[in-house]
Structure 1
Amino acid sequence: MSVTVRVWVQRIGVTALWIAAILLWRNHQTSNDLSTTEVGQRFLDNVGSEWWGVLAYIGVYLLRPLVLFPASVLTVMGGILFGPWLGVAVVVVAANASAMVAYGVGRLLGGSDTDDQAAVAEASSDDRQSFITAWSRRLREHSFETVFVMRLLFLPYDLVSYACGALRIRWAPFLAATALGSLPGTVSFVLLGASLERVDQGIDGVNPWAIVISVAIFVVSIVISRVLRKRQP
């Protein structure tokens, strides 16, 4: 079996398993008439204050990108389960590990290193390159800075991870930029969760100070990302 055929068999296999996982999860939600927050609340009710709660939470967070469960909901749940301090620590570990899962899947589905080099060369020689091509090239050449800005901008968490894996950027700058760039958002959502008793109770149960602090962190994050974008080459 040639290398090209083997790569395509791998891509088809990974894609089939990924689609199957998403469809099974959606079918479970639909058949049980569960919203996203209701699913989260069921998990909270089952875990409660059990000693294995941290392990269960991290395990669910690792599976989350495979079924496209919102990272924001699970992060808020971390604040409810573990409080503000332990919650931030647990979510940082879980979120970054899940980002690597999505990155790994994207890498399996992406092109080879030879394809990447050809794409970069083609982009460099085309004066009319598209926005996507330009952004892809920036990701490859300035991985840490670009991923860091995207995380500060609160771009779709899993989309960024899958794209970085597919473009085969180096894992070390991706992970470092994700850890640092996602921290403001993590703190914001964990603080919101820590002021709640249930994930499905809505905004009425949120401590006003948690909202103020979260919004302030969000605004600062956006401002920093704008400054950094202007300084990027």
Structure 2
Amino acid sequence: MPLSAAWRRLWPLALVLAALGLAYALGLHRVLSFESLAAQRAVLAGFVAASPVLAVLAYVALYVVVVALSLPGAVVMTLAGGFLFGPWLGAAAAVAGATIGACVLFVAARYALADTLAARAGPLLGRVREGLAREGFWYLLSLRLIPVVPFWLVNLAPALAGMALPPFAAATFLGIIPGTAVFAGIGAGLGQVFDAGGRPDLSVIFSPGILLPLLGLAALSLLGIWWRGRKGKMNA
């Protein structure tokens, strides 16, 4: 591939990597912490009170950057959404920002690398790509519903395997709603946590009352894939 053609394909991913380096150089990854949120709570609350619409837009934009660059701090951002805007608006803004950011990273990686990997990986990746084209939405939805799977990994793997953007975006949007709602709900109670000088208990996401329903939803997604495959074999 000529150098100019390679650059045209790689520039979106190169831009993401350059922005990631700049973010770390500026210390943005250190700002996205529970301690920083506690220290800036008065300033942030004042901004929300003075310009609520602008505050929501700024929050969504920052969340897009955090997810697109795979910076640590997405959980803190979700907590901040619940704290600043309440559980419902906070969850909605977090879902919007996370979905857009995931799509940005997905498009950059897919445009830059997916076709090259497909040409070099042989028949195995070809079968994976066919499976994603056929059932990718349900597989990805299952992964999104399980909060232990790294978010950045589930953004990149479908892109490198050649999944299409619309099912990726839809599965991401729907799959992150339950977990995001839980964390935004925790964030809505951060005022009392700050006043007590403590830290939020994020392990609640792994409690049986929350984790088991999420695993159940993920299992239902996979069960649908199994049933359609079985039905297809019976009709063949």
- Out of 7, 24, 29, the residue aligned to residue 26 of structure 1 is 24
Letter in 2 for 1:68: S
- Out of 139, 142, 156, the residue aligned to residue 162 of structure 1 is 156
**d(CA) in 1 for partners of 2:134 and 2:120?**
14
- Out of 150, 169, 173, the residue aligned to residue 179 of structure 1 is 173
Letter in 2 for 1:94: G
5+ long unaligned stretches in structure 2: 227-236
Q: Helix, strand or coil for the counterpart of 2:181?
A: helix
1:90 positional shift: 1.7
TM-score, normalised to structure 2's length?
0.74
**d(CA) in 2 for partners of 1:222 and 1:95?**
21
**d(CA) in 2 for partners of 1:5 and 1:199?**
55
1:211 positional shift: 4.1
| 64-73 or 149-158, larger mean C-alpha shift | 64-73
5+ long unaligned stretches in structure 1: 125-132
Aligned residues: 219
| 215-224 or 56-65, larger mean C-alpha shift | 215-224
**d(CA) in 2 for partners of 1:199 and 1:14?**
41
After the TM superposition, which parts of structure 1 deviate over 6 Å for at least 4 consecutive aligned residues?
198-203
1:65 positional shift: 2.3
> Percent identity over the alignment?
26
Asked if residue 103 in structure 1 is aligned to residue 97 in structure 2, the reply is no
Q: Helix, strand or coil for the counterpart of 2:163?
A: coil
Q: CA RMSD in A?
A: 3.7
Cα pair 2:105 2:155 within 8 Å, conserved: yes
- Out of 131, 134, 143, the residue aligned to residue 141 of structure 1 is 134
- The structure that is helix-richer by fraction is 2
TM-score, normalised to structure 1's length?
0.75
1:123 positional shift: 1.6
Cα gap change, 1:181 to 1:35, in 2 (>3 Å): closer
Asked if residue 80 in structure 1 is aligned to residue 83 in structure 2, the reply is yes
Cα pair 2:178 2:214 within 8 Å, conserved: yes
**d(CA) in 2 for partners of 1:105 and 1:67?**
11
Q: Helix, strand or coil for the counterpart of 1:175?
A: helix
Cα pair 1:196 1:207 within 8 Å, conserved: no
